[in-house]
Structure 1
Amino acid sequence: MDFRLTEDQRALRKGVRELLARLFDREALRAAVDAPSLDRELWRELGAAGFFALRLPEEEGGVGLGLPEAVLLFEEAGRVLLPGPLVATHVAAGSVPGAAEGAVVVTDASEGLVPWLDEADVVLGEVEGAVRLRSVDPLTPLHRVPGREHRADLVAVLLTAAEQVGSAGRTTETAVSYAREREQFGQVIGGFQAVKHLCAGMLVRSELARVAVRGAAVTGDPVEIAGAKLLADEAATGNARDCLQVYGGMGFTWEADVHLHLKRAWVRARLRLPAARAEEVVAANL
């Protein structure tokens, strides 16, 4: 089986990257951090571009593509830290009127931890007794529904893993770029063996997770999806930490974006199929 991207898939990824560069660049990211709220105009533009309707059949007004293509979209969303309940709205596009077009924002309360509850037009699941949490990620407001068991939709798990992969890839690129520019002791820090090892390790993590996520998108196997989520969470959090190390003290300042990737990775790792449950799924099938 050939797992390489097709020409159409590469064109889709390129188009989405260009779209997000126009709709949500670094200036928009920092503005969202300073004043966190869901940008409804951005949501509608994503809907118009087919972001939420990607997997709907063409006869239902969708794009007619599959899960492997959706994974590519969500990798790109993870690269730029696109905020909002993207996964829940995408998954609900076929059942909630207006979700496919970006006219309706959907969040999911079936797992106990609920992102963007106050901004959502439709909430899937019961939210009685929901308690607001202080989220570590300034771009992901959270509520918790007490006593709710974690029940994760497999497609939602995989798309969340794809976002983690996109973030892991972005922090790898960021670390390498900084290592080529920052100088200490008369040479760029990318020439130091320790920094080379950090960057190489980041590349290995992100590529291993990317292969696992894309492979699981093709097979749809629940165990492979659980394994992909584990690897993607490790790649996103581990790479963000190592990127901070490459940056040194600068990486820990509010002006740098590295800490935003780490905080989002922490939240995503808890939102769907946390590590302990994913490990149980994988272990039970060994």
Structure 2
Amino acid sequence: MDFQPTQDQRDLRAGVRDLLAGRYGREELRASVDAADASGRSVDRALWRELGEAGFFALRLPEEEGGVGLGLPEAVLVFEEAGRALLPGPLVATHLAAGVVPGAAEGTAVVTAFDLGSGPGSGSGPGGLLVSHLGESDAVLGLAELPAGEPVRSADPLTPLARVPVGASVQAAMAGDPDARRDEGALLTAALQLGSALRTVELAVRYAKEREQFGQPIGAFQAVKHLCAQMLVRAEVARTAVYAAAVTGDPAEVAGAKLLADEAAVRNARDCLQVHGGMGFTWEADVHLHLKRAWVRAEQWRTAAQAEEALAEELLAAV
């Protein structure tokens, strides 16, 4: 049995990478950060519509409903590329809302969702639930009307957060949220984390080849070699887990994939920063953006504690 991506899947991934490289490269990323600092908004509506036209959000809708008709494995490849580019916005929620919320599939509507984790980055807490990109969204998945929320400081400049009081409508939406949708949200978020983890490997290796110390590239030093090797191993282990969960759809494998992808994204960003040394701590370097986004995503859809609980239940059930 061949577990490698098919040629069509590789072509899809390459096409999305080319699209994002041309439309949301480093200059656009830094412009987004500057714009978010000034306005508190990070979603480019024109780009959102372009993504809709390219089938990003309607990827898994049946063709008879105007979608592309592909599956979860293809969606994971597409979201991996979005994570690699640090594309901002409620990508997962809008993708899940395709066919449910008018305009979501076409990219004419921005749809967010309650962050279902429970840690400091998102989820439940005193005063309500956290929602990302609420102020620039047209709908919240599961709610008939857009609720009011109080802005909350976010670690990531491109992921604005707001806290929404838990009223009756919110409780009903949370109770009616199917487990399958939560698993899909967790897996697609894991794919975003995977893309970021792979990108920070590239950034670290490139800098290690370019930066010289004592007359040679720092990549020649054993300590730097070990850091880069460990980063690659984490990313590839996470990639295997994410791809496998996309094929099986098993909730326990999804939990494992989210756990491994979160760890790879956060730790790789930290190690990438270490490879960059003092340069990595400056605002001009992009490393900190990957780390901050990884922190926030690690608390969305399924936290490490929730993933560990799901895996523990699966193991106990098998005893």
Name the TM-score, length of structure 2 as normaliser.
0.87
Q: How far apart in 1 are the matches of 2:237 and 2:115?
A: 30
Match of residue 145, structure 1, among 156, 164, 168? 164
CA apart distance, 1:2: 2.1
Match of residue 77, structure 2, among 72, 76, 79? 72
Q: How far apart in 2 are the matches of 1:202 and 1:145?
A: 37
Equivalent residue for 1:169? 198
CA apart distance, 1:145: 3.3
CA apart distance, 1:233: 0.1
CA apart distance, 1:268: 0.2
Q: How far apart in 2 are the matches of 1:179 and 1:284?
A: 42
Equivalent residue for 2:18? 18
Structure 1 alignment gaps of length 5 or more:
none
Which is further off, 84-93 or 130-139?
Answer: 130-139
Q: Does 1:236 align with 2:241?
A: no
CA apart distance, 1:213: 0.3
Q: How far apart in 2 are the matches of 1:196 and 1:184?
A: 14
Q: How far apart in 1 are the matches of 2:260 and 2:163?
A: 25
Match of residue 257, structure 1, among 283, 286, 294? 286
SS of equivalent residue, structure 2 residue 298: helix
Equivalent residue for 1:120? 137
Contact (CA 8 Å) 1:85, 1:105: kept in 2 or not? yes
Q: Structure 1 stretches (4+) deviating beyond 4 angstroms?
A: 125-129, 146-152
Match of residue 130, structure 1, among 138, 149, 156? 149
Name the TM-score, length of structure 1 as normaliser.
0.96
Q: How far apart in 2 are the matches of 1:46 and 1:125?
A: 23
Equivalent residue for 1:61? 66
Give the letter for the 2:24 counterpart: F
Aligned residues: 286
Q: How far apart in 1 are the matches of 2:74 and 2:130?
A: 27
SS of equivalent residue, structure 1 residue 271: coil
Cα RMSD for the two superposed structures: 1.6
CA apart distance, 1:110: 6.3
Q: How far apart in 2 are the matches of 1:257 and 1:240?
A: 10
Contact (CA 8 Å) 1:89, 1:107: kept in 2 or not? yes
Deviations 1:124-149 (A, max 9, x none): 24676733210010000012335689
- Alpha carbons of structure 1 residues 232 and 110: separation in structure 2 relative to 1, 3 Å: closer
Q: How far apart in 1 are the matches of 2:142 and 2:130?
A: 11
Structure 2 alignment gaps of length 5 or more:
117-128
Aligned identity (percent) is: 71
Deviations 1:6-38 (A, max 9, x none): 000000000000000111010000000001222
Q: How far apart in 1 are the matches of 2:148 and 2:7?
A: 49
Q: How far apart in 1 are the matches of 2:138 and 2:57?
A: 15
